[in-house]
Amino acid sequence: MKTIDNFNFKNKKALIRVDFNVPLNETFEVTDANRIEAAKPTIIKVLEDGGSAVLMSHLGRPKGEKKSELSLQHIANKVSEVIGVSVKFVDDCVGSTPEEAVAALKPGEVLLLENLRFYAEEEKGDKDFAEKLSKLGDIYVNDAFGTAHRAHASTTIVAEFFPEHKCFGYLLAKEIDAIEKVMRTGEKPVLAILGGAKVSSKITIIENILDKVDHLIVGGGMTYTFIKAQGGSVGDSICEDDKMELALEILKQAETKGVKVHIPVDVLAANDFANDAETQVVDVDKIPDGWQGLDAGPKTLANFKEVILEAKTILWNGPVGVFEMENFAKGTIAVGNYIDEATQNGAFSLVGGGDSVAAVKQFGFEDKVSYVSTGGGAMLESLEGKTLPGIAAIIE
């Protein structure tokens, strides 16, 4: 795996694909700079070698149109602030304007290009567009895991024009390494905690990881499809009736492969999908009509704790309750605490996928797990066993 450490950037211009698709408020200020922070070590390495950095990213979904509200000019000051270097901005990403700006770039300087998605060619993976981008650097560095599952011009196609001079940035290398630990090289027992609302959105992940894990915890809304499939009463809980056979098939596959599946035994049920609803703890297979399971119950959490603390490698993808409502967040917080304890005891823990990452940030677990993935869709496709085009383009 060629990383940025394989190159010396002295007097070289690094063309770096970053993921600066950050949230902005009404006055176009960055409200969460995590993705900029994540790219900082890669940019600093280039500058400290005596090179210059040309940064390219997308922002939002302009669909090939120039939209002033999605200009990367809005984030240039924040990038300067995070990196500690005054960042120059150019209002295009291909053609003579950026080419001239790059030619004038001195060692130690940083240039931010305009939004790549102002050109429809970016998302189409257009080769001519990729070739124009390739003129803006001597070495191509991909550090954008969040878009590594897309075969776009700047994430995949451009690498063809740097046959010997392409590599992963630190962030992308860390992402690859973290997934590798869970899927291939992790110390046993390996545990996957899969939550979220639907079995349908996790089928391919479950099928792919059954060969890699020793334990599987099923939580969240998925629980009720499994319980109903086994003849339990789930009341008004979310349930995919058309996926019940599949749930039974997953349990059968797990048994064949020697994977122990842990499903909730009790839940905190509510008489309405609301934070102020009436609640009661009930057995997961005896939820009364008019009630729905919205969080894991105390016996379930005690079972989960035991499994989590014994694990040496942990993947957490999806909350175990409706954590957005305070009264149904306790299960997800408890799971976070158990993973924190396991990590302190030497386990490797990876958190990935939109909702679990949101929960980890909301409840302050970011620094208590081994790694929090920066890419939702890319992370999920990696767990499904797919080779991501942005990664393949560097390895080839």
Other residues' Cβ atoms within 10 Å of the Cβ of residue 106 = 7
Distance (Å, rounded) from C-alpha 52 to C-alpha 249?
Answer: 54
Under the banding of pLDDT at 50, 70 and 90, the label for residue 8 is: very high
Query: Catalytic residue at 40?
Result: no
pLDDT greater than 70 at residue 12:
yes
Q: Using omega within 30 degrees of 0 as the cis cutoff, is the peptide bond preceding 62 cis? A: no
Query: Averaged over 207-214, what is the pLDDT?
Result: 93
Query: Averaged over 285-303, what is the pLDDT?
Result: 98
Distance (Å, rounded) from C-alpha 334 to C-alpha 291?
Answer: 23
DSSP string, 245-276: HHHHHHHHHHHHTTPEEE--SEEEEESSSSTT
Is residue 20 part of an annotated ligand binding site?
A: yes
Distance (Å, rounded) from C-alpha 24 to C-alpha 29?
Answer: 5
Query: Catalytic residue at 17?
Result: no
Q: Of the residues 2, 67, 198, 299, which is catalytic?
A: 198
pLDDT digits (tens, 9 = 90+) for 332-375: 999 999 999 999 999 999 998 768 888 998 999 999 999 998 77
Q: Of the residues 124, 377, 385, 386, which is catalytic?
A: 377
* Mean pLDDT computed over every residue of the chain: 95
| Domains of the chain: residue spans and CATH | 4-173 (3.40.50.1260), 186-383 (3.40.50.1260)
Under the banding of pLDDT at 50, 70 and 90, the label for residue 71 is: very high
pLDDT greater than 70 at residue 128:
yes
Q: What is residue 358's predicted lDDT score, i.e. its pLDDT?
A: 87
Distance (Å, rounded) from C-alpha 250 to C-alpha 245?
Answer: 9
Query: Averaged over 149-156, what is the pLDDT?
Result: 95
Under the banding of pLDDT at 50, 70 and 90, the label for residue 200 is: confident
Q: Of the residues 12, 13, 17, 35, which is catalytic?
A: 35
pLDDT digits (tens, 9 = 90+) for 88-111: 999 999 999 999 999 999 999 999
The order of strands in the sheet holding 13-17 is 87-89, 110-112, 52-56, 13-17, 139-142, 166-168
Query: Catalytic residue at 377?
Result: yes
Comparison of pLDDT for 117 and 385, the residue scoring more = 117
pLDDT digits (tens, 9 = 90+) for 308-320: 999 999 999 999 9
Is residue 356 part of an annotated ligand binding site?
A: yes
Is residue 355 part of an annotated ligand binding site?
A: yes
Is residue 35 part of an annotated ligand binding site?
A: yes
Is residue 100 part of an annotated ligand binding site?
A: no
Query: Catalytic residue at 354?
Result: yes
Range from 53-57, 142-146, 282-286 carrying the lowest mean pLDDT: 142-146
Distance (Å, rounded) from C-alpha 137 to C-alpha 214?
Answer: 45
